[in-house]
C-alpha cells in the first residue's frame, strides 16, 4: 500500500516536500532521502524516484532489492556501513559504493547520513544525501572496477594515514592482439573475466582498479612481499590456465610489478614511476615474474626515485634538463654522412648526463610523452632544416613512442611541426620500436599509411629483436629496417648472426625496403659488413651521438 508524502511526513508541513525537492534540484548530483525509523519506509525526492525507477516517492524497499544493485566487491562494506550509520556510528564517514545503473555499467555513489532523534533518544528520521558521481572517469564501464583517478586517491590516502600500502600492478601482455584477432566484444569479455579473477585474488583484503589499457592494480594495506608474491602467483596461474571464454581456453600471460611502502612518504608520482619501473622490468627482463620493490631497499634505489621524479617534473613542466644528441647515418657505398638520428638525453645535478636507457621505458608509458615527443620532433626538425641549408636533402630520424601514435592529435601535430620547420617530408623519418608494434596492427597500419601519404619515411627500429617475424613486420608498409646491433656484436664469429643479417638484407632488397645496420663500432667490423650491402650504417665508428654544435663540426670536417 502506498503512502502519500503528506501522510508520510505527517506533522511536518506539506511544503517540506516541495522544499526538499527544490533543494535536490538545486544541486546537480545530490539526491535526498528520508527514512522513517519506525516502519523503515523512505521518502525519496523526485530525482531519486526517477533515477532508480521507483514506483512512488515513498516506498519500503526490500534489503535484497537494494543489495542486488550494489557491486559485489562493495556489498559487505555497504552492509556494515549501513548498520553502523543506522545506529548513529561513524556518521562523519560517507558511504562509498558502486551501483549498477545500466545493463552492465556501474556508477560510483556516496551517501552521507544523519539522524533526527526523538525526545526519548531514539532515532526518528534518518536523513540521507546520496551523490551519483557517474560512470565517467571513476568507474570503468567494462569491468565495473574503479578507475585510475581513484587509484591515485586511494593510494595517497593510505600513505598519508600510514596504513602501509602494498600495491600490485599487472599488465596483460600483448593484449592488443586479442583485440585484433577476436574483436572488441571478445576483448571486453576477457577483461571482465580478468577483473573477476583479480577480485577473487584480492578477496576482502584489497581493492582492484583498472588502469589504462590492459593494466590493473590491486591495493592492500599492511601486506608483506611474500603475501604479495603468493597473490601474484595465484593470478598468474589462474590466467594462464583456467580462463575460458565462450567455451574457448584463453591463456593469458601477465607481467607484474609490486611496491611495498612501509616507512616512507611517497607521493603519487613516485609511486606510479616505481610501479611502472617494476612492471617493465618484469616484462622485459624477468619473463613476467613478479618484480617487487620496497622502500627499505638500497639507497641507489632512493636516488633512482628522486631522479625519476626530477625527470618526470622536467618532462611535464619546462623540459629544462632535456636536450637532443645526434648520431650520423652514413651511406654504405660512399661512407658519406647523409642524415642523423635524434637521441634524447637528460642532464641535471648531481646526476650529470643520463642516457635514455634509465628513463625511456617508464617515460614512454606516461601521458607526458606526447608533449615531450612533440618537443623532440620539433627540435630535431628545426636542427635538420638548419643543416639542410648547407647540405640539401639531409635527413633526420626521430624515435616515436606508442603513446604518441595512439593520440588522436598526433597526425595534426606532426603536420604542424613539419610545416613550421620547412623541411621536406621525405627528409623526416619516424622510427618505430617493438613497443609501438605491440599496438593494434590495424590502427598502426592506418597511421603509417597516412604519414607515408604525406611523404614521411617510416623505419622499423631494433629489427630482429622481440618476437616480430619477418613476415609480420613486412606486413606493415615500412621504408626501412634498422637491424639491431645485437646482430653485429661478434658477427664474425657467430654464423647464426651472419645468416640472419644476410636473410634480412636480402629480403629487404628484394622488396624495395632499405636497411640500416646499427652498432658499427670500428673499421674491422665495417669492412666485414660491406659484403651484406645494406643501405645505411650507423655506429660509434662514425661518431657517438653528439650535441648539435658538435654534429655540425663533424659534418664540416668531413666535407673539407
Ligand atoms: P635506439 O633507437 O636503437 O638507439 C641506438 C642506441 O644505440 C643509442 O643509445 C646509441 O647511443 C647506441 N649506439 C649507437 N651506436 C652504437 C655503437 O656503435 N655501439 C653501441 N654499443 N651502442 C651504439 P641511447 O641513445 O642510449 O638510446 C637508447 C634507446 O632509447 C634508443 O635505442 C631508443 O629506443 C630510445 N630513445 C632514444 N631517444 C629517444 C627519443 O627521443 N624518443 C623515444 N621514444 N625513444 C628514444
Ligand atoms: Ca632508433
Ligand atoms: Ca635501434
pLDDT number for residue 299? 40
Distance in angstroms (rounded) separating the CA atoms of residues 537 and 331: 6
460 dihedral zone (left: phi>0; alpha: psi -120 to 50; beta): beta
Q: How close is the Cα of 94 to the center of ligand 2, in Å?
A: 52
Answer yes or no: is the C-beta of 461 below 6 A from any ligand 1 atom. Answer: yes
pLDDT number for residue 298? 35
For residue 520, the ligand 1 atom closest to its alpha carbon is 18
Q: How close is the Cα of 362 to the center of ligand 3, in Å?
A: 18
Residue appearing with cell numbers 593484449: 175
For residue 518, the ligand 1 atom closest to its alpha carbon is 15
Distance in angstroms (rounded) separating the CA atoms of residues 410 and 32: 45
Q: Nearest bound ligand to CA 542?
A: 1
User: Got the DSSP string for 420-463?
Assistant: HHT--GGGEEEEE-HHHHTS-HHHHHHHHHHHHHHT-EEEEEEE
Distance in angstroms (rounded) separating the CA atoms of residues 537 and 339: 11
Q: How close is the Cα of 239 to the center of ligand 3, in Å?
A: 33
Answer yes or no: is the C-beta of 356 below 6 A from any ligand 1 atom. Answer: yes
Which of 356, 363, 367, 551 gets mutated to test ligand 1 (max ligand atoms within 8 A of its CB)? 356
CA 89 centroid distance within chain: 40
pLDDT number for residue 388? 97
Beta strands 58-59 and 42-44: pairing type?
Answer: antiparallel
Residue appearing with cell numbers 532489492: 65
**pLDDT (tens digit per residue) in 252-270:** 889 999 999 887 777 777 7
Distance in angstroms (rounded) separating the CA atoms of residues 290 and 271: 17
Distance in angstroms (rounded) separating the CA atoms of residues 356 and 369: 13
Answer yes or no: is the C-beta of 119 below 6 A from any ligand 1 atom. Answer: no
3-state class (DSSP) for residue 502: helix
Distance in angstroms (rounded) separating the CA atoms of residues 85 and 93: 9
Answer yes or no: is the C-beta of 361 below 6 A from any ligand 1 atom. Answer: no
Radius of gyration of the CA atoms of the chain, in A: 30
For residue 404, the ligand 1 atom closest to its alpha carbon is 44
Q: Nearest bound ligand to CA 326?
A: 1
Beta strands 254-260 and 291-294: pairing type?
Answer: parallel
For residue 376, the ligand 1 atom closest to its alpha carbon is 41
Whether 277 contacts 362, CB under 8 Å: yes
Grid coordinates representing 112 are 552521507
Alpha helices in 128-267 (DSSP H): 148-160, 175-202, 225-237
CA 382 centroid distance within chain: 30
207 closest CA partner among 101, 108, 287: 108
User: Got the DSSP string for 52-77?
Assistant: TT-SSSEE---HHHHHHHB-GGGHHH
For residue 541, the ligand 1 atom closest to its alpha carbon is 18
pLDDT number for residue 442? 82
Whether 55 contacts 41, CB under 8 Å: no
Whether 342 contacts 399, CB under 8 Å: yes
**pLDDT (tens digit per residue) in 121-139:** 888 889 999 988 765 556 7
3-state class (DSSP) for residue 253: coil
Query: Kind and range of the H or E element at 293?
Result: strand 291-294
370 closest CA partner among 421, 428, 337, 413: 413
Whether 106 contacts 71, CB under 8 Å: yes
Distance in angstroms (rounded) separating the CA atoms of residues 169 and 211: 9
Strand ranges of the sheet holding 254-260, from the earlier edge strand across to the other edge: 206-210, 215-221, 165-172, 254-260, 291-294
Answer yes or no: is the C-beta of 462 below 6 A from any ligand 1 atom. Answer: yes
* CA angle, 476 then 481 then 487, to 5°: 130
Grid coordinates representing 263 are 616507512
Give the closest residue (by CA) to ligand 1 atom 42: 399
Which parts of the chain have pLDDT scores under 70?
1-2, 5-6, 11-14, 28, 102-105, 134-138, 176-177, 179-181, 242, 295-303, 465-474, 560
Answer yes or no: is the C-beta of 121 below 6 A from any ligand 1 atom. Answer: no
Amino acid at each position: 500500500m502506498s503512502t502519500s508524502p503528506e501522510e508520510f511526513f505527517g506533522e511536518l508541513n506539506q511544503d517540506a516536500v516541495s522544499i526538499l525537492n527544490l533543494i535536490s534540484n538545486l544541486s546537480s548530483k545530490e539526491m535526498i532521502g528520508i527514512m522513517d525509523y519506525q516502519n523503515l519506509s523512505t521518502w525519496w525526492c523526485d530525482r531519486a524516484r526517477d533515477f532508480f525507477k521507483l514506483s512512488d516517492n515513498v516506498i519500503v524497499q526490500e534489503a535484497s532489492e537494494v543489495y542486488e544493485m550494489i557491486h559485489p566487491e562493495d556489498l559487505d562494506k555497504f552492509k556494515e556501513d549501513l548498520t553502523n550509520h543506522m545506529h548513529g556510528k561513524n556518521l562523519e564517514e560517507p558511504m562509498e559504493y558502486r551501483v549498477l545503473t545500466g545493463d552492465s555499467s556501474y556508477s560510483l555513489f556516496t551517501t552521507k547520513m544523519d539522524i533526527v532523534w526523538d525526545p526519548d533518544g531514539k532515532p526518528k528520521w534518518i536523513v540521507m544525501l546520496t551523490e551519483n558521481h557517474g560512470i565517467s572517469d571513476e568507474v570503468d564501464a567494462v569491468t565495473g572496477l574503479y578507475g585510475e583517478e581513484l587509484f591515485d586517491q586511494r593510494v595517497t590516502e593510505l600513505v598519508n594515514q600510514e596504513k602501509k600500502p602494498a600495491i600490485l600492478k599487472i599488465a596483460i601482455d600483448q593484449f592488443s592482439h586479442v583485440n585484433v584477432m577476436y574483436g572488441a566484444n571478445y576483448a571486453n569479455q576477457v577483461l571482465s573475466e580478468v577483473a573477476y579473477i583479480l577480485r577473487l585474488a584480492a578477496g576482502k583484503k584489497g581493492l582492484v582498479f583498472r588502469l589504462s589499457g590492459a593494466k590493473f592494480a590491486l591495493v592492500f594495506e599492511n601486506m608483506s612481499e611474500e603475501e604479495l608474491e603468493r597473490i601474484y602467483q595465484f593470478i598468474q596461474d589462474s590466467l594462464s590456465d583456467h580462463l575460458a571464454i565462450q567455451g574457448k581456453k584463453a591463456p593469458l600471460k601477465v607481467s607484474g610489478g609490486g611496491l611495498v611502502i612501509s616507512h616512507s612518504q611517497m607521493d603519487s608520482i613516485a609511486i606510479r614511476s616505481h610501479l611502472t619501473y617494476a612492471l617493465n622490468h618484469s616484462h622485459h627482463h624477468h619473463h613476467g615474474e613478479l618484480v617487487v620493490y620496497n622502500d627499505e631497499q638500497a639507497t641507489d634505489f632512493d636516488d633512482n626515485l628522486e631522479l625519476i621524479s626530477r625527470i618526470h617534473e622536467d618532462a611535464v613542466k619546462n623540459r629544462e634538463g632535456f636536450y637532443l644528441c645526434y648520431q650520423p647515418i652514413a651511406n654504405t657505398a660512399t661512407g658519406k654522412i647523409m642524415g642523423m638520428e635524434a637521441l634524447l638525453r637528460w642532464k641535471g645535478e648531481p646526476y650529470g648526463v643520463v642516457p635514455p636507457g634509465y628513463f625511456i621505458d617508464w617515460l614512454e608509458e606516461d601521458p607526458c610523452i606526447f608533449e615531450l615527443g612533440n618537443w623532440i620532433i620539433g627540435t630535431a626538425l628545426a636542427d635538420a632544416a638548419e643543416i639542410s641549408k648547407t647540405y640539401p636533402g639531409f635527413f633526420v630520424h626521430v624515435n616515436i613512442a606508442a603513446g604518441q601514435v595512439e593520440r588522436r592529435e598526433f597526425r595534426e601535430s606532426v603536420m604542424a611541426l613539419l610545416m613550421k620547420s620547412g623541411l621536406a617530408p621525405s627528409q623526416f623519418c619516424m622510427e618505430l620500436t617493438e613497443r609501438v608494434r605491440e599496438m593494434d596492427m590495424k590502427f598502426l597500419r592506418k597511421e603509417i599509411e597516412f604519414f607515408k601519404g604525406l611523404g614521411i619515411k617510416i623505419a622499423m627500429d631494433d629489427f630482429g629483436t622481440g618476437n616480430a617475424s619477418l613476415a609480420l613486420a613486412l606486413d606493415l608498409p615500412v621504408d626501412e629496417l634498422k637491424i639491431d646491433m645485437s646482430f653485429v656484436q661478434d658477427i664474425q664469429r657467430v654464423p647464426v648472426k651472419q645468416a640472419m643479417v644476410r636473410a634480412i638484407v636480402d629480403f629487404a632488397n628484394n622488396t624495395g625496403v632499405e636497411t640500416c645496420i646499427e652498432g658499427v663500432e670500428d673499421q674491422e667490423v665495417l669492412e666485414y659488413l660491406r659484403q651484406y650491402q645494406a643501405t645505411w650504417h650507423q655506429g660509434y665508428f662514425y661518431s657517438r651521438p653528439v650535441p648539435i654544435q658538435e654534429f655540425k663540426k663533424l659534418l664540416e670536417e668531413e666535407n673539407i
